[in-house]
Structure 1
Amino acid sequence: MKPDTHLALQNLLDWYATLSPQTVSSSRRFYSADARFKDPFNDVAGIAAIENIFTHMFKHTEHPRFVIREVLIDDDRAMITWDFEFGIRGAQYVVQGASRLLFDQEGKVMDHRDYWDPAEDLWGKMPIIGGAVTWLRSRFRCQ
């Protein structure tokens, strides 16, 4: 990995660790203008669309924060494991996931793909639909 990309990754992780509604607009420092962001709910391209995801997150969750757990780096790509901690209507949740990041020649993220299981980490823990998700998962489990 190039030294400038390594520094860019560390700066990005520091930004995620301190992300707030006031710092969402700083994403331009870390993402290329046409960067792609994909997770189980979103598949967008461009800074404005990526910022919309974070703005939405702050509007619909309580005290969201990312805790970086592990970082693996190879040349212009990185894999990060993380916990996303947040509240909804007073209930606390933790989503465990991973991100694959691809960097461009300027050290900016050009492709960001999040991997996490919404059925296990989110829906299964929610009132009303949690029971249905648990039942459905049990139907597909190998016994």
Structure 2
Amino acid sequence: MSEGTQAALARIVAMFETLAPADVARLGEYYCEDAFFKDPFNEVRGLPAVQRIFGHMFETLDGPHFVVTERMAEGDACWLAWEFRFRFRKGDAQGQVVRGATHLRLAPDGRIRWHRDYWDAAEELYEKIPLLGALMRWLKRRIAAA
């Protein structure tokens, strides 16, 4: 990993781990204007769309934050393993943890030009919702190899 990529990745990890609602307006310091972003629920291009996704996260969840558990980079490609911790707004006493990974491609200036999140929405989210969770667990048992 080059020193430039290493420094950019350290800066990006620090941003994700300390991201707060007021920081959404400053995401242009970390994302290119025409950045691509994809996760299990969104596929967008452009900084304003990326800002809307992070803004929506803060509007709909209590205390959302990322904990990066691993990182690696080669050339302009970076991978992060993370835990996303949050509480649902209504009656979530225990809190939730979603585990996933992010693949980033960096621009020459060290900002993110391509961001793809990988995580299992069924296991990490749907199974935790009472009625839907029961259905998802039943489907999982039916489909699983013995």
TM more than 0.5: yes
1:84 shift after superposition: 0.2
Segments of 5+ residues of structure 1 without an aligned counterpart are none
Q: Give deviations 1:55-97, integer Å, cap 9, x for gaps.
A: 0001111110100000011111111000000001232110000
Determine the C-alpha separation between the residues in 1 that align with 2:21 and 2:104: 22
4+ runs of 1 displaced by more than 4 Å? none
Which residue number in structure 1 is paired with residue 144 of structure 2?
Answer: 141
Which residue number in structure 2 is paired with residue 90 of structure 1?
Answer: 91
Which residue number in structure 2 is paired with residue 131 of structure 1?
Answer: 134
1:107 shift after superposition: 1.3
1:139 shift after superposition: 1.5
| Mapping of residues 11-30 of structure 1, within 5 Å | 11-30=11-30
Which residue number in structure 2 is paired with residue 104 of structure 1?
Answer: 107
Q: Is the 8 A contact 1:71 1:80 kept in 2?
A: yes
AA at the equivalent of 1:108 = R
Q: Give deviations 1:88-134, integer Å, cap 9, x for gaps.
A: 12321100000000111121111100000010011101112110010
Q: Percent identity?
A: 38
AA at the equivalent of 2:111 = K
Determine the C-alpha separation between the residues in 2 that align with 1:38 and 1:30: 16
Segments of 5+ residues of structure 2 without an aligned counterpart are none
- Kindly indicate which of the two structures has a greater share of residues assigned to helix: 2
Determine the C-alpha separation between the residues in 2 that align with 1:12 and 1:128: 37
Q: What SS is found at the alignment partner of 1:119?
A: helix
Q: What SS is found at the alignment partner of 2:57?
A: helix
Pairs aligned (count)? 143
| TM value normalised by structure 2 | 0.94
AA at the equivalent of 1:129 = L
Which residue number in structure 1 is paired with residue 50 of structure 2?
Answer: 50
